[in-house]
Structure 1
Amino acid sequence: MKILVTGGAGFLGSHLCTELLKQDHEVICLDNFYTGSKQNVSHLLSHPNFELIRHDVTFPIFLEIEGIFNLACPASPKHYQSNPVQTLKTSVHGAINLLGLAKRTGAKILQASTSEVYGDPRISPQIEEYWGNVNPIGIRSCYDEGKRAAETLFMDYYRQHQVDIRIARIFNTYGPRMAIDDGRVVSNFIVQALMGKDITIYGDGNQTRSFCYVSDLVDGLIRLFFNETTIGPINLGNPTPIPIKDLASEILQLTNSTSKIVFEQLPSDDPIMREPNIDKARQILNWEPSIDRQQGLMKTVEYFKNTIIR
């Protein structure tokens, strides 16, 4: 297939582009480089089936394609809160433009949604049928509500125009090519540990997250995209939660760091627990993560060691 990957030069998008090329698809990588990087796809530039386009999805684009993975949106709080209006536009206008493209070309389109649609959940683990607990006027709302609105648009294009959609709800993902300064907890802790700086935990560290290694997540996205029995939404993530303070301790051990753990105030609307129920992914996609956390963290530490030294 000829497949468009928006946000394709980002952390997750670049791994997706690489895997799609391995599976002999033609890939058009589209990115405005707000948080993505040309360096992430530099190893693909000479590939005969790869094309890179600089473009912002808030503006229409006209291409002839057969499939779309819509990953365009900053995913870390640091970046999406720095320009909240543009974040919301990226989710909403971007969805409208890409769904219009899919409608015109007859392409299949997958929306990379997020566990943030569940907000600060009152149930755990989170199932796809849970409607969430989201503050519509908080500092995270530009991302949370933007992704919720995008899911609404996808479902309405499916019902009204019979567009062939898929919706993936992605939980915390980590691995090589995460940006050093993206503000996400795994990259923050590893970089702080390797540089001998204090490891900063916001809140008391008892809040939980579930971390999925990037290759597992990409596998889940591709399985959902090509599955013909479901449109989703489907949770994709690691179902094993860990308290943030325990993650910090693990990373200190893996890096042999002498950094100290310090605690600061928890930001507004930061969820206390994040844990996916992946029963649907197991049953429908025959998918579950295969890389355990220690193995994935070791690979990620090695990446950051080489990045910081370089």
Structure 2
Amino acid sequence: MKLSDNRIMQEDVEHASAAEFIDWERFKGRTVLVTGATGLIGGQMVMTLLNANAERGLGMKVIAAVRNREKAEELFKYADKSALELLVQDVNDPYSYEGGIDFIIHGASITSSKAFVDYPVETIFTAINGTKNLLELAKSKQVEGMVYLSSLEVYGVVDLSLDSVDEKTFGSIDPMSVRSSYSEGKRIVETLCTSYAHEYGVPVKVARLCQSMGAGVGYNDGRVFAQFARAIIEGTDIVLMTDGSTERNYCYISDAVTGILTVLLKGENAEAYNVANKDTLISIKDMAQMLIDNYPDSGTSLKFNIVEDVTKLGYNPKVKMNLATDKAEALGWHAEVGLKEMFDRLIKSMIIIHNS
């Protein structure tokens, strides 16, 4: 079914909803609540569930929890209204939904790196209070499953000599750095999730996501990969404010969606699972150069304008974060889209958004 005017997004939704390693029958006749439903991952999660519902005749109901009704109505304008319900709700407020809920996918969060340093108090309490409200809802509705969308940032700064980082490997986080509002918030919320699982039997799992990119990323998005893509589109230089030595993995949006659904349906309660494409480890500098080499007609060059204190910009300290995904792969999930294809599809999507 048509869900988006963005051709790339439509293809991604159709691809994710066709994944045979997802036990779609578990959603038959069920109600699924998705928070942060107008965000990158939340929006495509809602569309993927709706497409699977239509293609497979699941009789599922999807509740999209959003703050802005107009934005949601535009994003989901082609959705089957009999299968989709918009719930206008601030995640910081307790939920009072009267109907039944079988599954919860909790992705509502402050995600802007600049906001982490400009609004650290709000960043922390949105994570804690928002997740507490969802856990209380899960407890009262006696849901079949819940997944909390966490981040690789819970690992902090790990030993740079490590080849990979599994779910039990942790580094340090400076609690006196205001930038830690996000990573420390994610850490305590993971503990809150496992506490609700152990004390109240809430069937909650944690999906630790790396940076996810793909169709739906806004043209003016401030994240590094979007800045790089925009430079290629506009033919401007890529300017790094660090030496670009930080290394990390990436994940395409459709792979992130299927990874989250796999953790929701097959993961063990009170367990965390890395969701990333393990084959995409690359430094910021090398990623910029890769794009310049792959798009020579853009005329883009790599420049440096290194600032003394990058934490004021919301940047992390230098890290090497190669997430091990064996645990998620043992559930039957695997990432399919490589880094070059990620950027090809991201750039095509951003051009569509820019021209619309």
Q: Please give the TM-score of this superposition, normalised by the length of structure 2.
A: 0.81
String of CA shifts for 1:35-62, please: whole Å, max 9, x gaps: x953772344444211222221111112
The Cα offsets for residues 92-111 of structure 1, whole Å up to 9 and x where unpaired, read as: 00111110000000012110
Q: 2:292 & 2:85 partners in 1: Cα distance?
A: 40
Which residue of structure 2 aligns with residue 32 of structure 1? 67
Q: Is the 8 A contact 1:45 1:51 kept in 2?
A: no
Which residue in the other structure is 1:267 paired with? 310
Stretches of structure 1 that go unaligned for 5 or more consecutive residues are: none
1:293 aligned residue = 339
Q: Which residue, 20, 40, 46 being the options, matches 1:11? A: 40
How far does the alpha carbon of each residue in 1:227-273 deviate from its partner, in whole angstroms, 9 at most, with x for none?
16454201111112011112112223444311222223362343421
Structure-2 residue corresponding to 1:208: 247
Measured in 2, the distance between the counterparts of 1:242 and 1:206 equals: 9
Deviation string, structure 1 residues 199-226 (Cα, Å, up to 9, x no partner) = 1223112221211111011101001101
- Give the Cα–Cα distance (whole angstroms) in 1 for the partners of residues 283 and 338 of structure 2: 16
What does residue range 144-163 of structure 1 map to in structure 2 within 5 Å? 144-163=183-202
Distance in 2 between the 1:111 and 1:174 partners?
19
2-structure distance, mates of 1:115, 1:98: 21
Deviations 1:20-48 (A, max 9, x none): 12232311111225xx9537723444442
Which letter does structure 2 place at the counterpart of 1:141?
A: S
CA distance in 2 between counterparts of 1:2 and 1:218 reads: 17
Identity of aligned residues (%): 28
1:251 — aligned with what? 291
Secondary structure, in 3 states, of the residue corresponding to 2:310?
A: coil
Distance across 1 between alignment mates of 2:290 and 2:267: 40
Secondary structure at the aligned position of 2:278 is classed as: coil
Cα deviation for residue 293 of structure 1 reads 1.4
Answer whether contact 1:254 1:298 (CA < 8 A) is retained. Answer: no
Contact 1:85 1:142 survives alignment (8 Å): yes
Contact kept in structure 2, 1:87 and 1:142, CA below 8 Å: yes
Question: Do 2:109 and 2:126's aligned partners in 1 also have CA atoms closer than 8 Å?
Answer: yes
After superposition, the Cα gap between the structure-2 partners of 1:253 and 1:70, relative to the gap in structure 1 and judged at 3 Å, is same
SS of structure 1 residue aligned to 2:226: helix
Alpha-carbon distance between aligned partners in 2 of 1:248 and 1:40, rounded to the nearest angstrom = 33
Q: Distance in 2 between matches of 1:80 and 1:278?
A: 27
The match for 2:26 is none
Amino acid at match of 1:277: A
Q: Which amino acid aligns with 2:349?
A: Y
With 204-213 and 132-141 compared, the bigger mean Cα shift is at 132-141
Segment drifting more, 249-258 vs 229-238: 249-258
SS at match of 2:321: coil
> Offset of 1:74 from its aligned partner?
2.3
**Contact 2:154-2:184 at 8 Å conserved across structures:** yes
What's the offset of the Cα at 1:168? 0.7
Residues 108-127 of structure 1, C-alpha deviation per residue, up to 9 Å, x if partnerless?
A: 21100110001122244111
CA distance in 1, matches of 2:77, 2:153: 32
Q: Does structure 2 retain, via aligned residues, the 8 Å contact 1:70–1:109?
A: yes
Aligned partners of 1:205 and 1:229: how far apart in 2?
A: 37
Residue from 89, 97, 100 that aligns with 1:55: 89
Among residues 89, 105, 109, which one is paired with 2:146 in the alignment? Answer: 109
SS in structure 1 at match of 2:236: coil
Counterpart residue identity of residue 176, structure 1: A
CA distance in 1, matches of 2:127, 2:163: 26
RMSD: 2.1
Distance in 2 (CA, whole Å) between partners of 1:273 and 1:40 is 39
Conserved? CA contact 2:197–2:270, under 8 Å: no
Q: Secondary structure of 2:342's partner?
A: helix
Looking at structure 2, the residues matched to 133 and 23 of structure 1 have their Cα atoms a distance apart, in angstroms, of: 41
Structure 1 residues 121 and 180: alpha-carbon distance in aligned structure 2, compared to 1, 3 A threshold: farther
Q: Is the 8 A contact 1:18 1:44 kept in 2?
A: no
Among 42, 45, 49, which residue is 2:76 paired with?
A: 42
* Alpha-carbon distance in structure 2 between the residues aligned to 1:139 and 1:189: 26
Match of 1:217 in 2: 256
